[in-house]
Structure 1
Amino acid sequence: MPIARAAKRATVRIGAVVLAGTLLAACGSGTSDSSDSAGGDVTLTVDLFGSFGYKEAGLYAEYEKLNPGVTIKQTDTEDEADYWKSLQTRLAGGGGLADVQGVEVGRIASVTQLQADKFQDLKEYGADKLKDQFADAKWSAATTKDGKVLGLGTDVGPEAMCYRTDLFEQAGLPTDRAELAQKWSTWEGYLELGKQYKKKAPAKSAWLDSVGSLYGIMIGQEKERYYDASGELIYEKNPAVKHAWDTSVEAAEAGLSAKLDQWSPQWNQAFAAGSFATIPCPAWMLGYVKGQAGDAGKGKWDIAKLPGGAGNWGGSYLSVPRAAEHKKEAYELIKWLTAPEQQAKLFKKQGNFPSSTGAIAQVADAKDPYFSDAPIGQIFGDAAKESPVQVLGVHDQNVAQQLTNALSEVERKGTSSDKAWETAKKGVANVIG
């Protein structure tokens, strides 16, 4: 949800899943599968961020039925930044870790390059046989230079635009998804339509939720963002970052935003209250919208192609820490959760777009009645095909968070763009060191 799948995984989930596991006889499981563990009943702990959707889609219950004696207990942190900070503390101490830990795609380079000793090479359980099930970029991102496989991808975050048809109608705007895609084929067109909406908008309703979400979706359209392929930090001189920043500042200064911090309680409540008419929408956001807007929102939402071309925001990985108690059983669970059949089920029920190539073919014709029968399989499938393969750096998520925080100052306090940019640079320097 996972980025996230998004500094958060609403997922943002963003979002792909990092898996790692070590088989130790001391765990009492030997080399057996979780369904016939020599140690008897097993309770597997799963610690995630945002909304991965496994419980909501009934996948945990299905797995427990298929594997008598296995019980799955999930804990969840809504804010990915809080989750990651806590995970780092527990990894450093070696205690308090779950059997399965989620990892947002913006953190995966940190795992493979800086923390490989904290996660188990899944090849020890035969994970290398699964390589052909996943897109090359998804698989390689969780593989170390010396060939260790530290993660299995859950989803990817192809991007679209979700919008409220009822609010559009009240403001006199068209609601047809094809017509809107044409009118906002560029981000300039999107902002222009937003200015039209503002003139006749229903009371207490803005064009979009926050400029942070606008920035996040735009930067997801770029191959190189914060680092180049050599690992050099380039965000300060990258014109793509500058364009996303300037567009977000323009939206803030034009008063198009509801000024809501993503993942905050106020943001959650705004989905049902109609506080914004559009929200940049990676696939994993669909389940989040449904959860927050509730049954009353069914049929009021629709989905159109994203301005400015395809992109990817978020996706996650599932990981098994080396200090996990039930590593073998945890691996069997994440292998099953990330298999094509389960990824296809998850997309149809929650909107998390598959990272499994086999699952993508299974959902090509999927529609979502909640979102006015939008052809989500086609919309997100086309976006996934057209999205660039992104360069990921070890501090991607940290850089993104500092830039988004600074944009919030522009949005909420009227801070100038130049001053906010300098604040962001100082924040990045402090975090990265």
Structure 2
Amino acid sequence: MELSRRTLLGGFAAIASGVAGSALAGCSSGMNNAGTTAKKNTATELTMWCWPGGLGKSVLTDTIAHFPDPKIKYSEIGGDFKQKLITTFNGGTSIPDITGLKGEDIASLLPQAQRFVDLKTLGADSILGDYLQWKVNQATTLDGKVIGLPIDVGPTALFYREDIFAAGGLPSDPAKVAEQLKTWDDFFAAGVQLKAKNPKALLVWDATDLYDMVVGQGTERYISKDNKFIGDQDHIRKAWDTSVKAMTLKIDGKTPSGGPDWNAGLDQGTVPAHIGAAWVASDIKSAVKTSVGKWRLAPTPSGPANFGGSFLAITKNAADPQKAFDVIKYMLSPDNEAKAFADAQIFPSAPAAYDKPQLTAADKFFGGQVPISVFGPAAKAIPVAYQSPYDDAVAAPFHDELKTVQTGAKTSDAAWSSAVSKAKAIAKRQGVQ
């Protein structure tokens, strides 16, 4: 299977501590690194950047046809999109009028809000209510500027093998799974029961991956709105202990998602479940051959989280910001977000799309289940949590130290102490109190 969106998210977390400081260089409004004013783009064309798979192909084609003057010039940018965008900003030339901003990058780009047009100045107030409020909040600065309109979101759910659950004595019907596996303790108890009957079927694919899920279910992360380090508090320790409990119960498959072992395990039943964002459905569908129709969906134990989901922004270099806004408003209408879901499982950020035929259809892969019946309520119930520009950098030691617990190199308490100490040091270097 090709590199998944989930793999990209994980890769960002691993390198975040090295990039957080450098990515914020050259932040003066309308200025490049040389200190000269970056030129406005010409009005002869409207340039747009995004990454592969970031936009629905049919929607993009339709939008280009719908706005012939000026002509939209679309560029698909591979590799490290954020770094290429920052480098272009700093160079002061060839800056796109419209650009995608990845959800995992948005917090670190908010301090550079002066690079982008505040969409409220273009009339965005009239449509912001069409989108999930928590998602709009992610692209909103502390002083109220909105730098991006949401493309998509990544609400989570439990993907599971109905046949493996049934053979292991667990409930297999989605409604019964939802009723019995309400909490992480319920989920772990089911994992212990399943392993007793099928030792190869480990319910937790990778316990270190579970950690971010639990953090994402909360209303606080590592740094508070008043720029204080809170990564040593109970809400983070709870996520840590939940991850470690899966290891202690020996239901941890130690199989990171997106790799060949994970792909094979989905079909073979050694990875009988996965908790992930809506877009993980496309990863699973492309990986399996023999288990088509045997997969089902249920709510995430202990509540939903969000992974991924991006934005379209307008740069201060845009020749005609109002025209650019008309374009992104059109592209991200509920009707077009529904079409993008049909194109590439890009899950809509506008709830009105959830009633569209593209999302209400039954899915044979999931045994005729309607995925929106699970993902729709999850998307609306994502907890609101402030994310600091430095959160990913500060989170990195927790991920690294959890792996030492997983391998047996350290005890949970020793690894926790080390993670907190390293995270505090990173936070301090970033100016966090």
- The interval holding the TM-score normalised by the smaller chain is 0.7 to 0.9
Whether 1:116 and 2:113 are equivalent positions in the alignment is: yes
Match of 1:132 in 2: 129
Larger radius of gyration: 2
Whether 1:189 and 2:193 are equivalent positions in the alignment is: no
Give 1:8-407 correspondences, 5 Å limit: 27-29=41-43, 38-39=44-45, 44-47=48-51, 52=54, 54-55=56-57, 58-67=58-67, 70=72, 72-77=74-79, 84=82, 88=86, 91-94=89-92, 100-112=98-110, 114-123=111-120, 125-201=122-198, 203=200, 205-237=201-233, 239-264=234-259, 267=262, 270-271=265-266, 274-293=269-288, 296-322=290-316, 331-348=325-342, 350-362=344-356, 365-407=360-402
Counterpart amino acid of 2:272? A
- The alpha-carbon deviation at position 216 of structure 1 amounts to 1.9
Counterpart amino acid of 1:319? A
1:128 touches 1:149 (CA, 8 Å); kept in 2?
no
Counterpart amino acid of 2:332? T
Could you report, residue by residue, the CA deviation over 1:346-378 in whole angstroms, capped at 9, with x for unpaired residues? 345544432224224447744333222223222
RMSD: 3.7
Q: Distance in 2 between matches of 1:227 and 1:401?
A: 14
1:409 touches 1:415 (CA, 8 Å); kept in 2?
yes
Q: Distance in 2 between matches of 1:405 and 1:284?
A: 26
Could you report, residue by residue, the CA deviation over 1:207-255 in whole angstroms, capped at 9, with x for unpaired residues? 2321233122222221122233434221211x22211111111112333
Could you report, residue by residue, the CA deviation over 1:385-428 in whole angstroms, capped at 9, with x for unpaired residues? 33322222222333344323332332245532123223423443
Q: Distance in 2 between matches of 1:196 and 1:149?
A: 48
Q: Distance in 2 between matches of 1:417 and 1:272?
A: 32
2:204 touches 2:251 (CA, 8 Å); kept in 1?
yes
Pairing partner for 2:411 from 416, 423, 427: 416
- The alpha-carbon deviation at position 272 of structure 1 amounts to 5.0
Q: Distance in 2 between matches of 1:118 and 1:275?
A: 47
Q: Distance in 2 between matches of 1:121 and 1:272?
A: 47
2:39 touches 2:93 (CA, 8 Å); kept in 1?
no
**Which sections of structure 1, spanning at least 5 residues, go unmatched?**
10-20, 30-37
Q: Distance in 1 between matches of 2:361 and 2:167?
A: 29
2:40 touches 2:318 (CA, 8 Å); kept in 1?
no
Could you report, residue by residue, the CA deviation over 1:113-157 in whole angstroms, capped at 9, with x for unpaired residues? x21123333345543443232233332432334443211112233
- The alpha-carbon deviation at position 342 of structure 1 amounts to 1.6
Question: Residues 427 and 265 from structure 1, CA distance in 2 versus in 1: closer, same or farther, beyond 3 angstroms?
Answer: farther
Question: Residues 85 and 377 from structure 1, CA distance in 2 versus in 1: closer, same or farther, beyond 3 angstroms?
Answer: same
**Corresponding residue SS for 2:50:** strand
Could you report, residue by residue, the CA deviation over 1:304-353 in whole angstroms, capped at 9, with x for unpaired residues? 12211344344322334446799777655533332211222334554443
1:100 touches 1:320 (CA, 8 Å); kept in 2?
yes
Deviates more, 1:418-427 or 1:298-307: 418-427
In percent, how many aligned pairs have the same letter?
Answer: 30
Q: Distance in 2 between matches of 1:182 and 1:104?
A: 34
Could you report, residue by residue, the CA deviation over 1:185-220 in whole angstroms, capped at 9, with x for unpaired residues? 1111111111222233375x5323212331222222
Counterpart amino acid of 2:74? I
Counterpart amino acid of 1:73? S
Q: Distance in 1 between matches of 2:50 and 2:182?
A: 41
**Which sections of structure 2, spanning at least 5 residues, go unmatched?**
13-28, 31-37
**Corresponding residue SS for 1:207:** coil
Counterpart amino acid of 2:309? G
